[in-house]
Structure 1
Amino acid sequence: MASERPIDHADYEITLCEMFADLLECDAVATDDDFFVLGGHSLLATRLVNRIAAELNADIALKTVFENPTVAELAERLSEGRRPVGLPALRPHRPALTPAPPEKGEPG
């Protein structure tokens, strides 16, 4: 069973520093370093959003990275939407799929 302990702000900062460093191929990243000043661009920002979703179980919009480009700012946004570890992110409701109507001449 997954832990119910919420991720705290410091945990987000540590993990985001590691993600920034990995994606940007830097030795180390500080909490006040700007993703884009360090060489990030829209494609790497998309990869960052996907890693945040996969590793932190948090859904953020790409726009959030552009508006909050430092580790500290992004960690703050993630902390605002805090939820227990292991719980899935809320997803928009998707309608059920229905079968296509039969082609002419096929039994229906």
Structure 2
Amino acid sequence: MLEWTEKISLTPALCTEEDVQGMRDAGWEEKDIVDIANVCAYFNFRVRLVDSLGLDLNESMVEFALEHREHAAKLATERGDKLPVDAWGLTQQETATARH
């Protein structure tokens, strides 16, 4: 699932029916697949909007995102997987926030 969300985030034009079938084969139902795609699209939208307007994330938002990313990373590790690359630079944002 994480590989698919990374693909639909970073290279959506390369997604195919085979990718969706892979989600089905992994046990995801149609509703789950649509929900996952919607959540992924929503967060991509938010990040692009914030970045394009040059808005800064406040410290509590960064802490919230990092806390949940750490939890997701732990769950992924328990399942023998890993999170996709830090495409949104959360760890970089944390470093920049800590410097202020």
TM-score, length-scaled by structure 1: 0.25
TM-score, length-scaled by structure 2: 0.26
Larger CA Rg, structure 1 vs 2: 1
Larger RCO, structures 1/2 (Cα 8 Å, 6+ apart): 1
Task: Determine which structure has the larger helix proportion and give its number.
Answer: 2
